[in-house]
Structure 1
Amino acid sequence: MSRSNAPHGDPDAVQPAHPDLSPEEWTPRTLAAQALGRIEPVTRAVVPPLHLSTTYLRDPDNAYRSGFSYARPDNATAREAEDVIAALERAEAGSLLFSSGMAAAAAVFCALERGDHVVAPEVMYWGLRRWLRQEAPRLDLTVDFVAMEDPDAVRAAIRPGKTRLVWIETPGNPLCTVSDIAAIAEIAREAGARVAVDSTAVSPILTRPLALGADIVMHSATKILNGHSDVVAGVLAGARRDTFWERLVAIRAGWGAILGPFEAYLLMRGLRTLPLRVAAQNEGALRLATRLSAHPLVSAVLYPGLPGHPGHAVAARQMEGGFGFMLSIRVAGGEAAAIDTAARVALWKRATSLGGVESLIEHRASVEGPGTPCPPDLLRLSTGIEDPDDLFRDLDAALRAAHGKIG
């Protein structure tokens, strides 16, 4: 597939005033909006095309000089989105799109060797935590869950000669714990372990884990990268193209876990507005967190943007331009009041997920079940792009109605 931006069939085309200004010099906002500035060479379309073909023509000598042979290991539309994500993450190895966030995360663990030891956070996406508890023993992996926000706890969990991966999720879902990526990366490096960071809750607009010493960054691209609640996708981005990265490439191809072209096309559409959505959702989340922290029916607000949050200083250091769209509140009156509050909202939607343009609310303990670290009075909030004053009024009314019923 040609990726040239040179004028096609138009000898009089005006040349750019600064032909040497490359995407490497663009800001993330420009990178995303321009989708790296590529122009489809045949029609001169400014939107990358959707490539649906499952197979590709061989050259007369049976080679595939186009770079494509079959749709299971690779796809041109997926490559376009991968290149944008890799540029935003400054990922030297590039990025790999998967059919879901779980598929992307599981690939990292399946790329380890039998007998390897893993350090993972106590506070993390519940689906992956459950998968690790169920499947890691079958893979002959040992996993220790620690308070990842405490570097000393991470250091104490390291097993010299055995620990091969430290998995970080920051902010941790849904308790909004903050882990110091740079500090933990140094601990892992001393032990010869890789670091992978689930950065779903922040996006590369706010945090670039690879620049902080991580080896791999993972996103559930279903969330804010796409941002429209209409694509299930996952992605890995790598700091370097080493043997471990090549193993991930082989796993995706062997499993057939690549994202479909239509979903990749929709993801590319979402990526082009990512910085604008991030800015709006950050602003809304901070305003809500600030107002809710003074609410008489809220016993605690968990949000790293609040100065009183235990991870605020670390978050301010490794997050640029905001503290994310996710926050959680603990409702005065306990579990019954929390569940009733979620039942009474009108603007907020009671649904699972994060990062969409619509605001979502969920009682996480009910979803996660036995063994969850979530307090029973906790509600997780994913702030969308609505007016935060409208969101506050809706939640305030629901809290007061629930309190009146419980009281």
Structure 2
Amino acid sequence: MTGFNTLAIHAGQEPDPATGAVIPPLHLTTTYKQDGVGGLRGGYEYSRSANPTRDTLQTALAALEQGTRGLAFASGLAAEDTLLRTVCRPGDRIVLGGDAYGGTYRLISRVLEPWGVTHSPVDLNDLDAVRAAVAPETTRVIWCETPSNPLLNVSDIAALAEIAHASGTLLVVDNTFASPYLQQPLTLGADVVVHSTTKYLGGHSDVVGGALVVADTELGERLAYHQNAMGAVGGPFDSWLVLRSLKTLGVRMDRHSANAGRVAEWLLEHPGVGDVLYPGLPQHRNHEIAAKQMSGFGGMVSFRLKAGEEAALRVCERAQLFTLAESLGGVESLIEHPHRMTHASAAGSPLEVPADLVRLSVGIEDVDDLLADLDQALA
């Protein structure tokens, strides 16, 4: 079996046959010359339908997630929307992790629900509650983020897959926080993997994108049809940027994980900090599950301030090396207040996050500099 880092550099990325270029070309074109009516070269006619640069990225993503097909989109939410409108119909139901990303919750509750698709927020660590929430005649999807955003809960993918498949339901896993380097949900029984490629796959805070990778070829065909018909495809330059970044995903994730582990351990000892949420800590409620299904614990750390929301806001404002900004997964460290920023759309809902919570995206800087910045921000 070819190793992950080898696949990341080579899967779908043979040297260009025309020139020998070792980096796949960037095909900035909308249309393609046909050799007579319907005489397509390589199946290309229009770049919404297919583009060689996007195809190369999709091949690489499928290889890294060990799926049968990868599909690249203009954003993570575009990928989610295409998936849900492909597999759901009015009257269907989604079982949604009780601490899902605010944008996912907004898409399901405010865009799909008026269309007739309902949802049930459930603690995915409570398997009995998940079983009770799944109605075989209407539930089409169990939607799982693991680790979750921003509470860093870890769900047992294999156990959820067993529950889903017993009722003919799809298990969808948002693998954005872990990346395929640390976790491969399809190998554990998931049906679809979702990524915001904006995050660790892109890794440099310079591209917005999303992806789906599937285990079943028939579902892959259906999604590819809707990808073209709905049109929220990844552009060639965006695809090229993500493809470039995949080559260093493994080495970046090693550094993100090492730095985040140090930061989490340091925060545990700080007198102003309450809970530290990081699956690599033995104290984490899901540490054993994380250790079983992940090969590392990632670069995301959340923590709660004993003094409450105002203290959390002050830490975000005082941080200097940690940049106050939304998003995550870039080489630079970021800090944010989820309650008022990334998860504001979940306010007042069952998915509302604590107001005293701070989320860190720990970058690949020298970790001693990161600790010094947190020290002064928490002073």
TM-score band w.r.t. shorter chain: over 0.9
Indicate which of 129, 149, 157 corresponds to 1:173. Answer: 149
Letter in 1 for 2:187: A
Q: Counterpart of 1:232 in 2: which secondary structure?
A: coil
Letter in 1 for 2:337: H
1:77 maps to 2:56:
no
State whether residues 150 and 179 of structure 1, in contact with CA within 8 Å, keep that contact through their aligned partners in structure 2: no
State whether residues 99 and 149 of structure 2, in contact with CA within 8 Å, keep that contact through their aligned partners in structure 1: yes
1:299 maps to 2:278:
no
Once residues 101 and 47 of structure 2 are traced to their aligned partners in structure 1, the CA distance between those partners, rounded to angstroms, is: 30
Alignment match, 1:379: 358
Could you tell me how far 1:65 is from its partner in structure 2? 4.2
- Percent sequence identity over aligned pairs: 46
1:340 maps to 2:314:
yes
Letter in 1 for 2:377: A
Which moves more between the two structures, 65-74 or 335-344? 65-74
Once residues 100 and 212 of structure 1 are traced to their aligned partners in structure 2, the CA distance between those partners, rounded to angstroms, is: 25
Once residues 130 and 85 of structure 1 are traced to their aligned partners in structure 2, the CA distance between those partners, rounded to angstroms, is: 26
Indicate which of 285, 294, 299 corresponds to 1:319. Answer: 294
Alignment match, 1:403: none
State whether residues 166 and 195 of structure 1, in contact with CA within 8 Å, keep that contact through their aligned partners in structure 2: yes
Which moves more between the two structures, 259-268 or 54-63? 54-63
Q: Counterpart of 2:340 in 1: which secondary structure?
A: helix
Q: Counterpart of 2:339 in 1: which secondary structure?
A: helix
Once residues 227 and 266 of structure 1 are traced to their aligned partners in structure 2, the CA distance between those partners, rounded to angstroms, is: 10
Q: Counterpart of 2:355 in 1: which secondary structure?
A: coil
Alignment match, 1:329: 303
Letter in 1 for 2:111: E
TM-align CA RMSD: 1.2
Structure 2 counterparts to residues 204-223 of structure 1, below 5 A: 204-223=180-199
Provide Cα deviations, 1:357-407, integer angstroms capped at 9, x if missing partner.
00000011112332252111110000110111111110111101xxxxxxx
Distance 1:79-1:37 versus aligned 2 partners, 3 A rule: closer
Letter in 2 for 1:363: H
Letter in 2 for 1:210: L
State whether residues 12 and 57 of structure 2, in contact with CA within 8 Å, keep that contact through their aligned partners in structure 1: no
Q: Counterpart of 1:133 in 2: which secondary structure?
A: helix
Alignment match, 1:351: 325
1:247 maps to 2:216:
no
Q: Which has the larger radius of gyration?
A: 1
Once residues 208 and 124 of structure 1 are traced to their aligned partners in structure 2, the CA distance between those partners, rounded to angstroms, is: 19
TM-score by length of 2: 0.96
Which moves more between the two structures, 222-231 or 78-87? 78-87
Alignment match, 1:59: 35
Q: Counterpart of 2:42 in 1: which secondary structure?
A: coil
Could you tell me how far 1:34 is from its partner in structure 2? 3.2
Indicate which of 318, 330, 340 corresponds to 1:366. Answer: 340
Aligned residues: 373
Distance 1:61-1:337 versus aligned 2 partners, 3 A rule: closer
Provide Cα deviations, 1:2-25, integer angstroms capped at 9, x if missing partner.
xxxxxxxxxxxxxxxxxxxxxxx3
Q: Which has the higher contact order (CA 8 A, sep 6+)?
A: 2
Could you tell me how far 1:35 is from its partner in structure 2? 4.6
Q: Counterpart of 2:303 in 1: which secondary structure?
A: strand
Could you tell me how far 1:163 is from its partner in structure 2? 1.2
State whether residues 364 and 380 of structure 1, in contact with CA within 8 Å, keep that contact through their aligned partners in structure 2: yes
Could you tell me how far 1:61 is from its partner in structure 2? 5.3
Once residues 197 and 125 of structure 2 are traced to their aligned partners in structure 1, the CA distance between those partners, rounded to angstroms, is: 24
Could you tell me how far 1:134 is from its partner in structure 2? 0.7
Could you tell me how far 1:41 is from its partner in structure 2? 0.6
Could you tell me how far 1:36 is from its partner in structure 2? 4.6
Q: Counterpart of 1:263 in 2: which secondary structure?
A: helix
Letter in 2 for 1:338: A
Provide Cα deviations, 1:300-336, integer angstroms capped at 9, x if missing partner.
100111001011011111101x111111011121111
Q: Counterpart of 1:145 in 2: which secondary structure?
A: strand
Q: Counterpart of 1:329 in 2: which secondary structure?
A: strand
Once residues 223 and 262 of structure 1 are traced to their aligned partners in structure 2, the CA distance between those partners, rounded to angstroms, is: 16
Once residues 89 and 313 of structure 2 are traced to their aligned partners in structure 1, the CA distance between those partners, rounded to angstroms, is: 43
State whether residues 70 and 214 of structure 2, in contact with CA within 8 Å, keep that contact through their aligned partners in structure 1: yes
State whether residues 149 and 180 of structure 1, in contact with CA within 8 Å, keep that contact through their aligned partners in structure 2: yes
Provide Cα deviations, 1:151-171, integer angstroms capped at 9, x if missing partner.
221111011222111111111
Once residues 59 and 256 of structure 1 are traced to their aligned partners in structure 2, the CA distance between those partners, rounded to angstroms, is: 25
Alignment match, 1:388: 367
TM-score by length of 1: 0.89
Letter in 2 for 1:343: E
Alignment match, 1:272: 247
Unmatched runs of 5 consecutive residues or more in structure 2: none
Q: Counterpart of 2:59 in 1: which secondary structure?
A: helix
Unmatched runs of 5 consecutive residues or more in structure 1: 1-24, 401-407
Could you tell me how far 1:56 is from its partner in structure 2? 1.0
